[in-house]
């Protein structure tokens, strides 16, 4: 019994110690939990943070958070398309100090890419200074470069001040930033995106603005449009560096996943009685210097034996790589070798992954266009509500001013007799049946507005406001009117920024290049020496050597 009593006392003591320890840890802010479940939860939180807040663009405005914050910060700094540029360091400082609590190098690199015409099909930032090159040269330090918004970027920011999007607190809750931009420009398809998150990645190729705008209009007019019909409009990706591309476009746009084969643009020229291969366009995201080095290494390794000279004559943003061939060489076999052994032919794996309503989703072409149209419907609805509210507020003031101006002597007399502004306001409300806003507007009126000219201006403004209110109410009352506005705005984008396609779409299938495609068919002579050595020579070279030996023997005799 005594032993059992002791054990019970020890158990109670341990329990008391555990409770005391738990209470102490809670007081210190320590949470007792199972480590594996806590690590799992922490890792999932980190993964979602990378997916949603850093690596994956939103389908609505086609931007990653850092890109959105760069454009918004530049707008807040007053860096409009027609304004003077400002130091990149100032812009980056505003972004990381107000909206994006990450490294300045990452923000600057994102801004540099937005300014590169070989990275983005339609650059969003105008860069002044060294912003890198297609040769892989890095941009100058942010203290040396300047930037401002491009004309086309203003289409993404348009109507931001008209309560069109939600504003959320920034990282330290000291400011507000837009959750998304209004996104009049269908940026996701136009400029594409690439990003690696946790467990998922996105690679979206850029497209031609004219084709995308035509596809949006066709979809709005016919929601049942087929993928085949859309592929007749959007023929395929359009890379800023040009070249050509081949792949199953129908399957790509149906599933949002596919593989493309890209090729640079190669032509031939005659140079000093020899043929020369000229590379004028290279595949997307290919470093030109690496390509030239790669060709030079292949010549040294004797995988490309028929090249006599190699030089880069590129200048002023135009690519020109000259490959001189030896005399009598057929260029087709050398071109095949370039496709096989170098990145003049490259692949592009498409994964059309984007955030749709904050959730990552692989989307097909129709889903991307539908998301753009639905988002623009929301933006135009919010904009119209804001404009209607402002128009009605102004109409109320204008009507009150006209009432007072029609009996200006009586209104002035009433105001003069009043002992205070409050008494004057109450007197005007009672005498003319006005609202508080109208009464205050009358009290704030300037003497110059009492002229007959000003009265006629107010009457004209009242008629314009009435017409504007009717139009806005019509828009808000009929979704078809909103769709008409979307079509009108998309056509304006096409007229203002539309251009010709840079990348050629290859209809024929690009097959694997075999060894047979690299060897030129020609007559050869096989000679075997007494010691068993075997040698292969062109018939032409063999005859030349034979004639030389024959003539030298004749001279010696």
Q: Is 284 a catalytic residue?
A: no
Distance CA 276, CA 323 (A): 5
Candidates 144, 171, 341, 497; catalytic one: 144
Distance, in Å, from the CA atom of 348 to the CA atom of 259, rounded to the nearest integer, reads: 6
d(CA 42, CA 457): 64
| 433 DSSP assignment | T
For the chain, helix, strand, coil in percent to 5 are 50, 15, 30
Residue among 512, 509, 517, 518 nearest 245 (CA): 509
**What CA–CA distance (Å, rounded) separates 530 from 98?**
84
Q: Tokens in use for 365?
A: 């072409």
Helical (H) or strand (E) element with 453 = helix 452-477
Let me know: does 32 contact 25? Beta carbons within 8 Å: yes
In the structure encoding, which two tokens stand for residue 432, read together? 């003319």
* Separation CA 349–CA 257 (nearest Å): 8
113 with 99: CB under 8 angstroms? no
> Are the beta carbons of 270 and 329 closer than 8 angstroms?
no
Distance (Å, rounded) from C-alpha 373 to C-alpha 487? Answer: 10
Give, in degrees to the nearest 5, the angle at Cα 231 between 225 and 233.
85
Q: Can you count the helices (H) and strands (E) in the chain?
A: 19, 19
Query: By three-state DSSP, how is residue 55 classified?
Result: helix
Active site residues: 144
């Amino acid at each position: 019994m005594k032993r059992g009593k002791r054990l019970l006392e020890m158990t109670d003591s341990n329990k008391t110690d555990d409770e005391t320890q738990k209470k102490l840890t809670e007081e210190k802010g320590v949470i007792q939990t199972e480590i594996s479940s806590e690590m799992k939860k922490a890792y999932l939180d980190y993964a979602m943070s990378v997916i949603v807040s850093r690596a994956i663009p939103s389908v609505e405005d086609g931007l990653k958070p850092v890109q959105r914050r760069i454009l918004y910060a530049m707008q807040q700094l007053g860096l409009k398309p027609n304004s003077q540029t400002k130091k990149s360091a100032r812009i980056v400082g505003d972004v990381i100090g107000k909206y994006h609590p990450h490294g300045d190098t990452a923000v600057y690199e994102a801004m540099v890419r937005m300014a590169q015409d070989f990275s983005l099909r339609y650059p969003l930032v105008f860069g002044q200074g060294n912003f890198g090159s297609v040769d892989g040269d890095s941009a100058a330090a942010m203290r040396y470069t300047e930037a401002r918004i491009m004309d086309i970027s203003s289409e993404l920011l348009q109507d931001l001040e008209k309560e069109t999007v939600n504003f959320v607190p920034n990282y330290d809750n000291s400011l507000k930033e837009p959750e998304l931009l209004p996104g009049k420009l269908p940026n996701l398809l136009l400029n594409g995106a690439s990003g690696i998150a946790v467990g998922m990645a996105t690679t979206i190729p850029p497209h031609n603005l004219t084709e995308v705008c035509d596809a949006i209009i066709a979809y709005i007019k016919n929601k049942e449009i087929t993928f085949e019909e859309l592929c007749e409009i959007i023929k395929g990706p359009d890379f800023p560096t040009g070249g050509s591309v081949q792949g199953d476009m129908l399957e790509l746009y149906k599933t949002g996943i596919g593989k493309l084969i890209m090729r640079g643009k190669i032509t031939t020229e005659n140079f000093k009685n020899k043929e020369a291969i000229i590379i004028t366009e290279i595949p997307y995201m290919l470093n030109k210097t690496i390509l030239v080095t790669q060709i030079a290494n292949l010549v040294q390794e004797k995988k490309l034996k028929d090249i006599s000279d190699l030089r880069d004559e590129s200048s002023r943003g135009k690519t020109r790589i000259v490959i001189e061939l030896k005399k009598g060489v057929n260029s087709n076999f050398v071109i095949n070798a370039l496709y096989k052994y170098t990145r003049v032919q490259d692949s592009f794996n498409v994964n059309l992954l984007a955030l749709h309503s904050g959730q990552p989703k692989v989307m097909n072409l129709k889903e991307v266009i539908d998301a753009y149209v639905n988002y623009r419907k929301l933006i135009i609805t919010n904009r119209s509500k804001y404009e209607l509210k402002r128009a009605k507020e102004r109409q109320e003031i204008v009507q009150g001013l006209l009432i007072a101006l029609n009996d200006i002597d009586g209104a002035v007399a009433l105001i003069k007799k009043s002992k205070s502004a409050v008494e004057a306001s109450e007197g005007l409300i009672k005498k003319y049946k006005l609202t508080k806003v109208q009464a205050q507007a009358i009290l704030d009126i300037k003497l110059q507005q009492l002229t007959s000219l000003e009265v006629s201006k107010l009457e004209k403004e009242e008629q314009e406001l009435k017409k504007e209110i009717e139009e806005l109410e019509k828009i808000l009352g009929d979704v078809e009117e909103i769709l008409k506005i979307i079509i009108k705005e998309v056509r304006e984008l096409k007229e203002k920024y539309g251009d010709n396609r840079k990348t050629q779409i290859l209809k024929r299938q690009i097959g694997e290049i075999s060894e047979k495609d690299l060897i030129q068919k020609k007559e050869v002579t096989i000679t075997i020496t007494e010691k068993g050595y075997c040698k292969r020579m062109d018939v032409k070279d063999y005859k030349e050597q034979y004639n030389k030996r024959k003539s030298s023997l004749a001279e010696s005799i």
